[in-house]
Each structure stands twice: as C-alpha cells, then as structure tokens.
Chains A and B, each alone.
Chain A
Amino acid sequence: MILLGRVFLALVLVFLYAPIVVMMVMAFNASPLYQLPMEWSGRWFVALMDNRRLLSASGTSVGLALATSLIATSLGTLAALAFARYTFRGRRLLQILLLPPIAIPWLIIGTSLLVFTFWIGLPRGWPALLVGHVALALPYTVILVGARLAVVGVELEDAARGLGAGPWQVLWRVTLPGLLPGIAAAAAFAFAVSFDQFVISYFLAAPGTSTLPVEIYSAIRKGFTPEINAISTLIILLSMALLLMVARLYRFGGSR
C-alpha cells in the first residue's frame, strides 16, 4: 500500500512538472519551429536581449511588482495588527471582506476595474494596474503577517511595557523585529502575485505600459517562437525562487 502510494505521488509530480520541463528544454532548441531531435543552442536567450518590447515590459512588471509589494505589505501589516491586537465589533465582517479578491474570478475583477476606471476617467496604465494588483495581494499579506503575529504572541510586548517602554518603542523595538519573517514572506508573496498576474493586467494595461505576461499572451496568440520559451523559463525560475524563499521563512506543511 505504502509503495503504491509513493508511486502514485511520483506520477502526480511528473504530471505537474513534465510540461514545464519540456517548455524549458525547448527554450534551448535551435529550431524556431521546435523541431526534434534537439539541436542545443542559447540563441533565444541572446535574442531576448534585443527584444525591446519584452525588455520594457519586464521593466514595467518588476517596477509594478515592487510597488505592489511595498504597498500591499504595509497596508496588510497594519490590518493584521488590528486583527491580532484588538477585538472589536465588525471584526469578523472585515475578515470576510478580505475574501472577494481571492474568491471572485479574476475575469470579473479585471473587467469591473476596467469599467470603473473608464467611468471615473482614470486612463488605462500604471495607476490602474497598481490599484488592481495591490487589491489582489492584500488579502495574502494580511493572512501571512497575521499567522506570524499569532506565533509571536503578546508576552514580549507586555514585558517591554512593564519595563517602561512607550507604545512607539514597543512597536519599533519589539513588535516589528519579531514580525520580520512574516513581513518578508508577505512582501515576497505579494511580489510574486503581482509579477505573475495576467488577467487583471490584460484588461488594464495600456499599449505602451504592457506587463510581461500580457506581452507573452499576445505573442502566444500571434504564433509562438522559442523566444517565448526563453523568457518564460526565466519567469518561472524567478517566481519559484521567490516562493521557495517564502516557504523557507514559513516552513509550512511539514511536521514540526
């Protein structure tokens, strides 16, 4: 039974990773038509360096992800502090209100933001993208920082207060340092959410300010070349590295 279970699990992992590996290997195929057998080459990665559109889209994506990460983590940390340190009327309702950005299909969030920004006269592009990305990342940052707050507890803060520290001193010298792993994980996660986000960006990006996933999508629909494999390989490696970082900070799942 045990062996059967392990074999099955291994097959599931193959199913999950095989297409990604194939996609990555094809990035090194010299043939623009993905012809087999493989002829190894790094030319598509070199070609990336000259692709202005993809380079500028990468710049937009990274900048947007950094801004999203900064804002979502700050707002999320504040809200998580309120949930962890105070009990108040409407607390449960506020926690439930964090769910819509996760539970409503992105298609609907994206199109409604498009309608709304059009209505209030905000043009498509950076500001609209930032509004959407932060909203998507925010619930996760509240949850990640909140989980850390639950671990840290209030004892150290009480002790510091008992020893005569003022509220700001407690915040800066005790609460925030203790929270740091949670904040770092939330920031990395928010970065990944924004960097990988396609649906919302697709509706809100203006032609000049496309993000990387939007550019890749239009390239895929036009007919694809190994250049897309090359940039996709880089993207997937970056997001996996980020998430490994989050996992290291959290060690979720395993036995403690």
Chain B
Amino acid sequence: MRCRLAILGLTGPAYLWLLVAVFLPLTAMLYFSVLSETPLGNREPVLTGEHYRAFLEKSVYRDLLWRSLGIGLEVTAFCALIGFPAALALSRAVPGRWREVVFLLVVLPFWSNGLVRTFSWTMVLGAGGVLDRGLQALWPDAPEVDLLFTRQAVVIGLVHAYLPYMILSCYLALQAVDDSLILAARGLGASHWTVFRRLWLPLGLPGLVAGSVLIFVPVIGAFMEPRILGGPAGTVIGTVIEDQFTQTFNWPLGAALSFILLAVVLLILLLAYPLRQRLERVT
C-alpha cells in the first residue's frame, strides 16, 4: 500500500502535466476538427465531417501532403546516404579520444537553435551569397547560383537540420560491431565492397531504420524551414496548417489537416516498430 502511494506520488505530477499539456489538447483538437466553424464570438458551430471530406475531395490538400511526403523521402534519403558512411567512418576510422570530440561536434549544432541554423542558410544560398561568391571566385564565368526560395533550398536546410540524427543512430548500431568479425571477413578474402554489403549494411540497418523514422516524422510536419528557405516555393502541408491557425483563422480545417498528418505519423511509427524489432532479433 505504501509502495503504491509512493509510485503515485512520484509519477503523478509528471503525468498530470503531460495530460494537461499534450493529451487533453489533442482531444480538444479532435473535437475542433469536426466543427463547422471556429467558435469565436456568438457563432454557433455544428458538428460536421466536411473538413475531412474537403481533404478527400479537393486535390489541393492531397497534393500538398504528397509534396510533404516527397520532401520527407528526399531529405531522409540524403541523410542516409551521407549519415551512414559518416557514422561508419566515425566508429572505425577515428581513434578513441578524437572519436569523443568528433561525436560531440556532430551532436552540438543539432541540439542548438534550429531557427537560427535555418536562418544561417539564407546567407549562403541566395544570389550574392557565400556560395555564389565562392563559386565565382574559383571560376569567374560560373553562372549565378541563386538557390534561395527553391525546393532545393528547403531540402538542403532540412538535411542540415536532421543529418546528426542519422549519424547518431547509425553510430550507435555500428559502434557495437566487433572488430574481429570484420578482420575475419577480410582475412577470408572478402573485398571492402563485400564487407560493406554483407556486414556493415545489415548490422547498421536497425540504426538506419531508427534514424529514418526520427527524420521523416518531423520533416513532414515542418513549416518553419519551408517558410524561410522556400518562400512561395516552400508551400507544404505544414505551412498550410500554420496558415489556418495564424492567417485565415479556419481552426477546424487546420485541426482536421493536423489530424490527417498525425494519422500518417502514427502509421509510419506503427510500421517501423515491428520492423525494427525484427531487425534487432536477427542481428
């Protein structure tokens, strides 16, 4: 009995807070998503499924979701292509003391201010920016590089923002691999490519899957990076949801779109969880 009371007293405050800050708000938003209009002033909203229907019937929103998913896939793919080799290099090509330093250098920007880091790309990508100037200094006839306010700029900014996630989760998987396994494979005549394909890739796969989920989920909900780096070219589902809450004040539509996005997120998490478990059992 005393034990129960202790557990309740210890966990109660934290979970009460989460209830008020996360779980009740999500419930409230579910309710708002089936209202006909924002209950401001003396308007009397009625219950309706029109906003969900709008998503199914109007191709605008569907296209936006596809766009977001496309950007999410592109960003995740680039992060995997850069992050996996980087994690491998970090775990095998860097000696002990330095490894700690490099590891820290990789995570440090990641936990620092995302808005500021996104802003910093505007200095680099625009016409007359550092990239443009640098290219012209190296090659005077270079065509002008003006990537700011394009889809590429959004992808570059998001890869920069989330790459450390991929390096981190792949590193955790690869670091655990026993050196003797690799030495044995090499000694038996396996080429570098075979070792990579038959050992590193499968052994790092759980990290790769975890990293991909950790990146894909926030990227499809991003709105700040597309706004700053994409401008009008950066309209995605996230920026449209933001508009419903801050510009057009159509909260029910925004809530419905948020829940559709949330459903996609949950679907991805549900698919990834058993996959990861199976991978972990195999390796």
B42-50, B53-61, B201-209, B258-266: which lies at the interface: B258-266
Contacting pair B221 A106 (CB below 8 A):
yes
User: Which residues in A have their C-beta under 8 angstroms from that of B13?
Assistant: 74-75, 78-79
Main secondary structure of the interface of A (DSSP, over half): helix
User: Which residues in A have their C-beta under 8 angstroms from that of B220?
Assistant: 105
Contacting pair A255 B120 (CB below 8 A):
no
A224 partner, pick from B122, B171, B241, B242, beta carbons under 8 A: B122
**Contacts A107-B242, A115-B29, A138-B14; is A236 near B112 (CB within 8 Å)?**
yes
**Bound state CA distance, A88 and B3, in angstroms?**
10
User: Which residues in B have their C-beta under 8 angstroms from that of A196?
Assistant: 111-115
Main secondary structure of the interface of B (DSSP, over half): helix
> Count of chain A residues with Cβ under 8 Å from any Cβ of B?
85
Contacting pair A22 B86 (CB below 8 A):
no
A 92-130 to B, binary, CB cutoff 8 A, 1 in contact else 0: 001001101101111111011111110100000000000
A49 contacts the other chain (Cβ, under 8 Å)? no
Contacting pair A113 B100 (CB below 8 A):
no
> What's the interface size class on B, roughly?
35 or more
**Contacts A5-B88, A6-B94, A255-B96; is A19 near B123 (CB within 8 Å)?**
yes
User: Which residues in B have their C-beta under 8 angstroms from that of A202?
Assistant: 224
Q: Which of B207-224 contact A (CB under 8 A)?
A: 217-218, 220-224
Contacting pair B93 A1 (CB below 8 A):
yes
Which chain B residues have a beta carbon within 8 Å of chain A's beta carbons? 3-4, 6-7, 9-11, 13-15, 17-18, 20-26, 28-29, 32, 82, 85-86, 88-90, 92-94, 96-97, 99-100, 102-109, 111-117, 119-124, 128, 130, 133, 160, 163-164, 167, 171, 192, 217-218, 220-224, 227-228, 238, 241-242, 245-246, 251, 254-255, 258, 261-262, 265, 269
